[in-house]
Amino acid sequence: MNKVQKIVIFILVFLTFITRLVTLSKVPPHLSNDEISIAYDSYSIRHTARDEHNNFLPVSFQSHNTYKAPLYVYLATITNYFLGNSEFSVRLPSAILGSLTVFVFGYIIFLLCKNINLSIISVGVLALTPWHIYTSRMALESNIAVFFLVTALLIFFNSIINNKNHLLMLSMIFFALSIWAYHTEWLLTPMIMFLLFYIYRKKIKLNTNFWLATLIFVILVFPIAYNAWINRGTTARANTEIIFNDPGISKIIKNSNISKLKKIMIVGESFFKNYSDYTKLGHLFFDGLPLLPKEDPYSVGLFFLPLLPFFLWGFFKIKLYFPNDYKFIYLWIIISPIVPSLTIGGTNMVRNLATVLPYSLLIGVGLYNVKNKINFFKLWILVLSIFISILYFLAIYFYHFPFQMGENFQYGYKQAAEYINDNYDKYDQIIVDPRFGNINIYVGVPHLYLAYFTNLDPKKMLLRSDSNKGLLFDKYHIFEINWNLEKILPRSLYLVPFDNQPGNNFNNLRTVKEIKLPNYKVEFKLLESTN
């Protein structure tokens, strides 16, 4: 490694961490409902060893009528212990492991092709791609799952290339951790492991180390598998999000008048449509990143648009640089979108996040292959176009995204919690309407935000009652307010959406605070009783 290469690597390390850590608490503008679920459960586990729903050290965490994988919650208890309740503390594990994923990925490439320049270029692609920056800055289970998956791959290749069969055991541990981290890896990880064992079967020694490693993997994933089995009829995410639960497909499957062959064809058609949507170039390079409203013309792709031709070119040049491993790489590219294609709800870049790795490799190979085949002028046009794309993305992400998308992240509940924290003793009851958005079309999870950002003793949440009259815990009563039936009691505070105001008949309520979105639109009002 020469001096220039060392400098480039240092710059990439700096850019990787800075793009994932700077203003981490403010961009995205607020914890999403999935993030606050992880944040609160980590806070509750830290103090009580129980989650929001009073389950003792669960293997699967109940969340918004579904279930989430457990590993992120347990990792976040560590940062919660040191940093307390904040956006930064819950997002930090994702930012750190997302950053480390970049360099583990680069090490795999170097291990397989022994080409430091190709490795550096591929690292640069992954480090600066909008897709990976976005997901690394949120508390997302899929992001840490990708880290454990890519680390398992690194250890596996190190084992077979350097004839260190004992490392298989460590590789199996990381494969198992990826399954503990996110539901996509429940199927994707075994598929990748099967490919590895088949393609590299001649290099794997079936000795004591191998069988012990296999046994350790089975033992580690058994709790997850057992929990999924006993909850197969519940709202576990693997059940609720599967393609068979699409309303249209479910109706067809249950129809006894439709033949089995036709049912299979309909399910297959839906799967292949999803797979096509996930692999569309428009989705990947034009509008796949949800930074702006769907109708906004200034959309951003998962990858930078100038890299599109290199993505296509790299697909045909993989064999040139990976003569011993191209079969695995091609199959890795093919199978990565399979699991998200089996789910409902349209394209979801979070479920498909593992695909960012082989796609970044394709782009890296394409860039490396042509860098010595274009003249100086064309090279600088390419560099300038990529640089402009990076600046454009950074402007959209760090300014326009938080400005326009605050409502999508339930912005305002933290700000309400700050007021409540400062005035908690003034009120005997705090009534919260969970609706928000234009004409109150959304129903949020304000109980998690308010409890988390006010540092409410988690034991009080464990004593809550939930019925058709709403959710009650501590001083809080959360339900959809009907002002025609509401009786205002003394020392009461109301947190209500802007579109559900009490009207002029309620002279015994006064506004104490308006909470505005980053785009200055009033989202919530805090009202207190005056009687």
Show me where the domains of the chain are located.
3-19+35-240+280-404, 408-529
Which residues are CB-contacts of 211 (< 8 A; sequence separation ≥ 6)?
none
pLDDT given at position 239: 57
Cα-only R_g, the chain: 25
CA distance 45 to 48: 5
Alpha helices in 138-183 (DSSP H): 141-161, 167-181
Answer for the pair 478, 499: CB distance below 8 angstroms, yes or no. Answer: no
Answer for the pair 72, 141: CB distance below 8 angstroms, yes or no. Answer: yes
Q: Which of 219-233, 246-260, 403-417, 450-464 shows the lowest mean pLDDT across its residues? A: 246-260
pLDDT one-digit tens code per residue, 122-134: 999 999 999 999 9
Q: At what angle do helices 208-230 and 167-181 cross, to 10 degrees?
A: 10
Which residues are CB-contacts of 82 (< 8 A; sequence separation ≥ 6)?
89
pLDDT exceeds 80 at position 504: no
pLDDT given at position 440: 72
CA distance 143 to 178: 10
CA distance 353 to 43: 27
CA distance 412 to 526: 11
pLDDT exceeds 70 at position 80: yes
pLDDT given at position 238: 54
| pLDDT-based confidence at residue 206 (cuts at 50, 70, 90) | confident
Q: Which two tokens stand for residue 432?
A: 């919260």
pLDDT exceeds 60 at position 194: yes
Q: Which of 13-17, 450-454, 506-510 shows the lowest mean pLDDT across its residues? A: 506-510
pTM of model > 0.85:
yes
Beta-bridge partners for 442? 436
The alpha carbon torsion through 502, 505, 511, 515 (nearest 10 deg) reads 20
Which of helix, strand or coil describes residue 184? helix
Answer for the pair 434, 480: CB distance below 8 angstroms, yes or no. Answer: yes
Q: Which of 42-51, 407-416, 418-427, 503-512 shows the lowest mean pLDDT across its residues? A: 503-512
Tell me what the pLDDT averaged over the chain comes to: 93
Q: How far is CA 420 from the centre of its chain?
A: 30
pLDDT one-digit tens code per residue, 342-390: 998 889 999 999 999 999 999 999 999 998 788 878 889 999 999 999 9
pLDDT one-digit tens code per residue, 297-343: 888 999 999 999 999 999 999 999 999 999 999 999 999 999 999 99
Identity of the amino acid at 371: K
pLDDT given at position 263: 82
Which residue pairs, CB below 8 angstroms and at least 24 apart, start in 78-87? 79/42, 80/39, 80/42, 80/43, 80/46, 81/46, 84/455, 85/39, 85/43, 85/452, 85/453, 85/455, 86/25, 87/24, 87/25, 87/26, 87/30, 87/31, 87/35, 87/414
pLDDT exceeds 90 at position 293: no
CA distance 428 to 11: 55
| pLDDT-based confidence at residue 233 (cuts at 50, 70, 90) | low
Output DSSP code: residue 477: E
- Residue 114: left if φ>0, alpha if ψ -120 to 50, beta else—which one? left
Which of helix, strand or coil describes residue 202? coil
pLDDT given at position 64: 75
pLDDT given at position 117: 96
Q: Quote the Cα angle for 75-80-85, to 5°.
A: 135
Lookup result for tokens 């919660």: 80
Q: For residues 46-67, give the mean pLDDT.
A: 91
E-assigned strand segments in 223-324? none
CA distance 186 to 167: 22
Strands 66-68 and 61-63, sheet pairing: antiparallel
